[in-house]
């Protein structure tokens, strides 16, 4: 079950949130016993620091959580979540000098601190529960937490249990839960219905490749989300070395993230028409695998020379984006774990995005900080378009030279979106080490920033 706030009627203890520069004043107002206790344990109000507060009769009077300095807070996010696991069992309400986006982000972090991936191993649950602070939209925060947990579960599940069939089931379940409509085009039907790139990439896999589609809503502006669903990526005939293949269960992170975002949108009943497209494949090695130097013709008629079978994500997205472009959308967004070059450029914590629309870029950048969901705009640098143009086909899926790999991948995708208002996210989808509210493993990136930007982008 996704994490939820404690029942408002539950008895609860205060969780005092104290910044470092307010510690002395706050401590001076405490009962002498509690002040002496904090002095004895050396409480300094650092971010993530938590101490229980004793009651006069020997029980628990509440707890205090450090909020550090502004400089310390700028170096992380979800500061209260960092100490949530050290709180004694029970329900807590926040006593904090916080409001607006900062309060909402901390409340979200406390919910996400309860996330456990326990499909294969029993995990110790979070002992503490938290009431929704006054002044936040609790339903919105719970919807964001639920969508994020869905994304994490999908990414964390290994390919033996999260192949194209299971990803299809997840999309169908999500549609059924929210009253949407879902369909799938599978196997050779992809060729019959003109999705040749999806078929070519996935035909060697143990499960048939497929294009998944979900629609929801019948009024309002049209939003289309496209997510890369490569459920495992060996690299194909240009096979990856073992070190590079180890995390490839997460190569469907784009699909997982758009499904999580769709869950948020539908749970909040936003006044829009939603369409989700997911090309779901495995990029495997077999006798019928597509080959280097094959030339494939995409759905929109462009020919593509395959110069690396490990640059398969842009191929399956190309057909899905071409389908999306056949219908008018007010905004089209693709999300994919597409390139290692993006990680080199901005590391694992930032979600780089591309758009030609300055208004979309400004909305995303303006909301990302409020949502504790950092993003960074990258350029559709037109002079690099020539790098995509080989001698014998319209496009090259893997330009030689090694430069600007994330940019050229984004430029490749832009060839398939027509005149749509478009943004592309080249995400990592993985938290490499434990952090507050973000355990090591699958993680959503960019979804909350998009959610918060939608009212501005779509004039909701």
Catalytic residues: 240, 314
Q: Are 403 and 129 in contact (CB under 8 A)?
A: no
Q: Are 454 and 270 in contact (CB under 8 A)?
A: yes
Compute CA distances 284 → 163, 203, 352, 430, whole Å: 12, 8, 28, 22
Q: 344: which 2 tokens?
A: 């080199």
Looking only at the bridges linking them, the beta strands covering 60-66 and 50-54 are antiparallel
Q: Are 83 and 48 in contact (CB under 8 A)?
A: yes
Q: 97: which 2 tokens?
A: 């000098």
| CA dist., res. 417 & res. 428, Å (int) | 23
382 CB burial (10 A radius; 0-12, 13-18, 19+): exposed
Q: Is the four-CA dihedral 6, 11, 14, 15 of positive or negative sign?
A: negative
Strands (DSSP E) contained in 238-294 are: 273-283
DSSP secondary structure letter of residue 207: S
Give alpha helix (H) positions in 216-375. 242-245, 253-267, 313-325, 340-346, 358-368
Compute CA distances 391 → 231, 244, 399, whole Å: 32, 30, 12
Q: Are 118 and 39 in contact (CB under 8 A)?
A: no
Instruction: Give backbone dihedrals phi and psi of 449, rounded to 5 degrees, phi first.
Output: -60, -45
Q: How remote is the C-alpha of 372 from its chain's centroid? A: 12
Identify the helix (H) or strand (E) that includes residue 115. none
Closest CA to 282 of 316, 324, 318: 316
Closest CA to 216 of 134, 288, 274: 274
| CA dist., res. 67 & res. 19, Å (int) | 4
Q: 120: which 2 tokens?
A: 């294969």
Q: 24: which 2 tokens?
A: 């002395």
């Amino acid at each position: 079950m996704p994490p939820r706030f404690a029942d408002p009627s539950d008895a609860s203890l205060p969780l005092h949130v104290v910044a470092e520069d307010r510690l002395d004043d706050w401590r001076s107002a405490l009962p002498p016993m509690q002040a002496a206790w904090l002095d004895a344990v050396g409480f300094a109000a650092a971010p993530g620091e938590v101490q229980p507060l004793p009651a006069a009769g020997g029980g628990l009077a509440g707890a205090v959580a450090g909020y550090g300095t502004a400089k310390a807070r700028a170096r992380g996010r979800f500061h209260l979540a960092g100490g949530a696991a050290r709180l004694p069992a029970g329900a807590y309400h926040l006593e904090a000098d916080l409001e607006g986006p900062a309060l909402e982000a901390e409340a979200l972090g406390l919910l996400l601190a309860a996330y456990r991936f326990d499909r294969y191993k029993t995990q110790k649950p979070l002992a503490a529960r938290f009431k929704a602070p006054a002044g936040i939209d609790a339903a919105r925060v719970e919807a964001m937490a639920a969508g994020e947990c869905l994304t994490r579960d999908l990414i964390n599940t290994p390919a033996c249990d999260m192949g194209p069939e299971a990803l299809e089931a997840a999309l169908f379940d999500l549609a059924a839960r929210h009253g949407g409509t879902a369909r799938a085009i599978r196997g050779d039907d992809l060729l019959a219905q003109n999705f040749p790139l999806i078929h070519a990439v996935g035909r060697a896999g143990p499960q048939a490749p497929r294009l998944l589609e979900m629609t929801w809503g019948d009024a309002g502006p049209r939003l289309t989300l496209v997510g890369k669903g490569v459920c495992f990526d060996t690299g194909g005939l240009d096979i990856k070395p073992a070190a590079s293949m180890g995390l490839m269960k997460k190569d469907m992170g784009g699909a997982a993230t758009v499904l999580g975002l769709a869950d948020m949108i539908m749970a909040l009943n936003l006044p829009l028409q939603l369409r989700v497209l997911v090309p779901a494949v495995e990029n495997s090695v077999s006798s019928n695998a597509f080959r280097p130097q094959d030339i494939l013709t995409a759905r929109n008629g462009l020919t593509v020379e395959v110069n690396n079978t490990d640059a398969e994500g842009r191929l399956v997205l190309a057909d899905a984006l071409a389908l999306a472009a056949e219908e008018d959308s007010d905004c089209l967004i693709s999300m994919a774990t597409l390139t290692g070059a993006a990680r080199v450029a901005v590391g694992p914590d930032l979600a780089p995005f591309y758009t030609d629309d300055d208004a979309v870029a400004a909305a995303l950048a303006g909301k990302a900080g409020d949502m504790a969901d950092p993003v960074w705009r990258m350029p559709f640098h037109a002079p690099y378009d020539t790098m995509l143009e080989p001698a014998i086909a319209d496009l090259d899926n893997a330009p030689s030279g090694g430069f600007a790999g994330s940019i050229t991948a984004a430029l490749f995708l832009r060839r398939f979106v027509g005149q749509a208002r478009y943004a592309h996210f080249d995400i990592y989808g993985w938290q490499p080490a434990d952090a507050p509210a973000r355990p090591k493993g699958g993680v959503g990136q960019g979804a909350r920033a998009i959610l918060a930007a939608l009212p501005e982008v779509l004039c909701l």
